[in-house]
Each structure stands twice: as structure tokens, then as C-alpha cells.
């Protein structure tokens, strides 16, 4: 049988696979209202969770870590880049990176960032509900 020529693979951005992790619950949170579900490591000497007994919730371990290629990526498969100024968009590669506008950025600067990102074809992860306001001068009423 003749050998086939290997097809050259084109590099694609890594897609984030759907990883199902368990919801890690705090020990005894299902028993008491005062104990919230937010994770805390069990440290009691007789703790069934710490001992990893069958029938008790699982505790985080290294096996639940995601692959290194997709670790820290946005679900779209792009790397998140924080942006606070319009000039920050110049260093962004639209094929590999997406932009998240900082929460301290005001409306006028946010509009400028959104317009520039649209020109360059950059994905903005938190565009908000900003309406692109046209600069209108208030009309003076003669009285």
C-alpha cells in the first residue's frame, strides 16, 4: 500500500472543550443554614470529606485542572486582555486575543475604545449598553 502524503495542519486557535467539574461544596453546608456553600478545605480529624469517603462531596485536587493549552482562556478560545485606554488596543492581536474594558473606564472613553475595536475587528467581551452618542451641542433658547 502506498504511503499517503501528510496534510499540513493549519494552526487554529484552541477551542475550550466543555469540561464538567463538580461543584465543590463546603463541608456541612448542606446541614446548616449558617454555613455557606463557598469552598473551605475540610480539616477536622474525623471529617468524612477529608478522608474522601464514598457518598460525600469531592474535594478539589490536581486531577480537575484543565489542559495547559487552554488554561486561563475565555470560553471563546481567546486570551483576555484588559484595556483602559484607546492606545492599549494597538498591542492586541484580534486572531488570538479579546479585550475586556476596565470597570473604571468612563462612558466617553468606553465609546472611543468600542469604535476603535470595531474598526480593527477586535472582540470586546464587555461592551455594555453604551449607546454611540453623537456629539450634539445643546440649543440655546432665546428668552
Q: Which three cell numbers stand for residue 42?
A: 475540610
| Residue segments in the chain with a per-residue pLDDT below the cut of 70 | 1-18, 131-143
pLDDT of 125: 95
Q: Which three cell numbers stand for residue 44?
A: 477536622
- Cα separation, 26 vs 35, in Å, equals 8
- The chain-wide mean pLDDT, for the chain, equals 86
State the first-to-last Cα distance of the chain, in angstroms, to the nearest integer.
Answer: 95
Query: What would the pLDDT profile of 61-90 be if each residue is shown by its tens digit?
Result: 999 988 888 888 998 889 999 999 999 999
Choose among 26, 22, 24: nearest CA to 47: 26
Amino acid at each position: 500500500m502506498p504511503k499517503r502524503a501528510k496534510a499540513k495542519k493549519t494552526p487554529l486557535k484552541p477551542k475550550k472543550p466543555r469540561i464538567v467539574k463538580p461543584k465543590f461544596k463546603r463541608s456541612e453546608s448542606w446541614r446548616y443554614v449558617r454555613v455557606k456553600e463557598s469552598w473551605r478545605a475540610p480539616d477536622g480529624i474525623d471529617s468524612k470529606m477529608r478522608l474522601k469517603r464514598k457518598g460525600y462531596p469531592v474535594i478539589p485536587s490536581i486531577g480537575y485542572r484543565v489542559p495547559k493549552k487552554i488554561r486561563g482562556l475565555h470560553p471563546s478560545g481567546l486570551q483576555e486582555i484588559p484595556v483602559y485606554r484607546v492606545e492599549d488596543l494597538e498591542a492586541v492581536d484580534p486572531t488570538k486575543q479579546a479585550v475586556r474594558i476596565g470597570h473604571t473606564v468612563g462612558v466617553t472613553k468606553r465609546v472611543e475604545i468600542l469604535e476603535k475595536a470595531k474598526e480593527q475587528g477586535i472582540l470586546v467581551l464587555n461592551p455594555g449598553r453604551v449607546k454611540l452618542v453623537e456629539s450634539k451641542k445643546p440649543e440655546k433658547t432665546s428668552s
